[in-house]
Amino acid sequence: MKKVISPQTILYPAPSVLVSCVSGSGKANIITLAWVGTVCSEPPMVSISVRPGRFSYKLISETKEFVINIPTTDIVDKVEYCGIHSGKDVDKFKETGLTPMPATKVRVPLIKECPVNIECKVKDEVHLGSHNLFLGEIVAIDIDEEILTEEGRINYLKAKPIIYNNGEYWKLGERLPISHR
């Protein structure tokens, strides 16, 4: 038997990322997001879903750029901090000690401590209700050399991504064997 429950947001696990953004006057900010995803391969595109009340929403709408920084499990406390404090009240780079670094294709700073940084330009915005969806084209990707395999791919075990499960943070477990391979 299945129990039918009311429509709600239960699609987990989700990635937990730090999105950096900057105002037109150069003030940088960081927001923690879980509602992010890959949405197209040619051109490579991602989506981020942001409540219009967020300080970061204002910045991303203004400059039409953002960077998705993939944090490691080592900095989970900083991820939580950036998800409960607003850039309206605090300088999150200063308070967390995270280091801003120049990006290659956008004015938004990368976060040095995150081994993967995905530079994006906003192509479209969709008003959904509580959240607005930004569709971003990936214009550059910056990766720490130490987490690359010899073939130049990301070793995700070394990247140590944080997995978000409806209020809890988790880490990657074991690779599943596939019987026909």
Ligand X SMILES: Cc1cc2nc3c(=O)[nH]c(=O)nc-3n(C[C@H](O)[C@H](O)[C@H](O)COP(=O)(O)O)c2cc1C
Helices (H), the chain: 55-63, 76-84, 92-96, 156-159
No. of helices (H) and no. of strands (E), the chain: 4, 12
Shortest distance in whole angstroms from residue 126 CB to ligand X:
14
Strand, helix or coil for residue 46: strand
Choose between 80 and 144: whose C-beta lies nearer to ligand X: 80
- Closest CB to ligand X among 144 and 170? 170
Eight-state DSSP code of residue 148: B
Whose CA is closest to 157, among 181, 173, 141, 177? Answer: 173
Closest residue to ligand X using C-beta atoms: 83
Burial class (CB in 10 A: 0-12, 13-18, 19+), 61: middle
Residue number, 66 or 164, with CB nearest to ligand X: 164
What does the block give as tokens for 75? 């900095």
Residue 118 CB, shortest distance to ligand X, in Å, is 15
Q: Is the peptide bond before 43 cis (omega within 30 degrees of 0)?
A: yes
Cβ distance to ligand X smaller for residue 10 or 178: 10
Residue 65 CB, shortest distance to ligand X, in Å, is: 15
Give min distance, CB of 2 to ligand X, in A: 28
Min separation Cβ 44 and ligand X, Å = 20
Using the minimum distance from each CB to ligand X, give the nearer residue, 55 or 66: 55
How far, in Å, are 13, 30, 37, 72 from residue 66 at the CA level? 23, 10, 14, 19
- The smaller minimum CB distance to ligand X, of residues 129 and 177, is found at 129
Give the footprint of ligand X on this chain (CB under 6 A): 16, 29, 31-35, 49-51, 54-56, 80, 83-88, 131, 164
